A and B are shown apart, each in its own frame.
Chain A
Amino acid sequence: MADVSLETRNQTPVTFRGGGFDPVARQWVPWLFFAAVIAAWQGASHAGLLDPLFLPSPLQIVAALQELATSGELARHFAASLMRIGIGWIIGAAAGVGLGGLIGLFWTWRSAGLPFISALFPIPKIALLPLLILWLGIGEASKVATIALGVFFPMAISAYAGVDNVPRNLIRMAQSFNVPFRGIVMNVIIPGMLPSVLAGCRISASIALILVVAAEMIGANVGIGSFVLTAGNLMQTDKLMAGIVAISILGLLIGAGITWLERTLLNWR
């Protein structure tokens, strides 16, 4: 027998109240939004509403990008910036993860290192560039050191926070099987801290990008920051905007790379 009442009088449907509060992003929306903004911008430029000296049209920016790409100028500036970011990021990240790991594992390092990090982290690292130029000269070393310093602190913080976030029950489990200290670090701590370290990578990569542009604006002849500054000084707004677009694309590519790393290394989540 069906568990349904045969009574048909006064049937009132139960009101649905469970919708909303579920903001799932649709993949096509950002493309549509982006296309709409570009179209409006192009339309405004075409109608003469925007002075190309202050804001060139998207087509002018694309043309400038194309010219810079074919002349090899973009590649030259990008190569210089990428080299500085790469070296600075690797040094800063290695030192940061190393110190953060030690702070997460040993009370001596935590006692000494945590106040040190808390005191120095808030200093805007670009403010240290003049000092670093004084110490290391105007060449590559001072710019790389600025980036390394900028990367070091968020990586150190994410590393020790990552160690702190490794569930203690997993460490106790390993201890209960007499897994030696090194085995616990390799098999429990390092994989467990990885999500936090990768989150730190995302933040520090953005910081590195900001710092390289700023450092190159202060003291470099080549590099994307220097290129943007020179284009601005010469009122070549289309080239300036092309440089900014190129930096934005680089940022997106770095972000996509980290997303890929997260998907690959953290597929267990």
Chain B
Amino acid sequence: MAFELVAAAISHQYGSLSVLEDISFTIRQGEIVAIVGPSGCGKSTLLGIVGGLLKATHGTVTVAGDMPPDSLNPFTYIFQDFALLPWRTVAANVRLPLEHHPLSRAERAARVADALSRTGLIEFARALPKQLSGGMRQRVGIARALVVKPAVLLMDEPLSSLDAQTRELLMEDFEAIWARENTTGAYVTHNLEEALHMADRIMILRRRPGRIREIVPVPIPRHDRRGQAAERDLHRLHEQLWSHIREEAQLADREMSDG
């Protein structure tokens, strides 16, 4: 039976500062929802609340239906800064989430090898993170997420610390993996282009406090977004969404410049 992630009336405060206010949305199984908005709108805070790393001041996050029984970590994050343990090799980083599960040594090794081969890292299994490029490090982050067979992938700006070319390549990797694994996920980004290429729906947040401005479905199936015609439609949608965000992004920029 399919499941659905339901966030209901989420509000969050840091002291007296209200960061999120009355956020409600659902993510259906197999669906990718991008969360976009200007800096400081609470995107990452919302993702932290969805995955249980932060406790919301108000509201609930629930799962309706049954989660896949073989998932070792239903809500799994991919981090912006990769969050790799620098003293562990690539294989040992990928193995970390399995070490507290009652799996045999052989099964652990098989799962790690499978995750590494799916992300093209098998040759780098013994490398240390410092020996890898940014893109390769994020691949390790992806392999570490895949090794636990996540039910929901929570991605916090996973491409934002990479250069443009690496980002493009990794976007293609993400698309392939998601299509193959029928991934369910929330994808936080400030990059509309990424959101338009990778998400089924785009949730736009306002800032201070973060509230949902609108949730926009992307009308082209994910696997059909690379053609010229699709690019034209996506460009139009990009313009439309950008016009919604632009003013608040400018305000955020000014606020940050002012210090």
Contact = CB atoms under 8 A, between A and B. Distances in A.
A245 interface: no
Interface residues of B, number: 22
B59 interface: no
B100 A169 contact: no
Interface in A160-215: 169-170, 172-180, 183, 187-188, 191-192
A269 interface: yes
A268 B86 contact: yes
Contacts of B96: 174, 177, 179, 187
Interface string B54-85: 00000000000000000001011101010101
Interface in A212-269: 267-269
Count class of interface residues, chain A: 10 to 19
Contacts of A180: 100
B205 to A, nearest CB: 22
B252 interface: no
B171 interface: no
A176 B76 contact: yes
Contacts of A269: 86, 130
Contact of B76 (A169, A177, A187): A177
Contacts of B144: 177
Contacts, number: 51
Q: Is the interface of A mostly helix, strand, loop or mixed?
A: helix
| B contact face: mostly helix, strand, loop, or mixed | loop
Nearest to B130: A268
Contacts of B87: 191-192, 268
Contacts of A183: 99-100
Best-buried of A180, A187, A269 by chain B (most CB within 10 Å): A187
Contacts of B97: 177-179
A179 B100 contact: yes
A192 B144 CA distance: 20
Nearest to A175: B53
A178 B73 contact: yes
Given A178-B73, A268-B130, A173 B99 contact: no
Interface of A: 169-170, 172-180, 183, 187-188, 191-192, 267-269
For the complex of A and B, 5 pairs with smallest distance between CB atoms: A173-B83, A177-B97, A268-B87, A176-B77, A191-B87
Given A170-B83, A177-B148, A268-B128, 9 more contacts: A169-B83, A170-B85, A173-B77, A176-B53, A177-B96, A187-B85, A188-B85, A268-B88, A268-B130
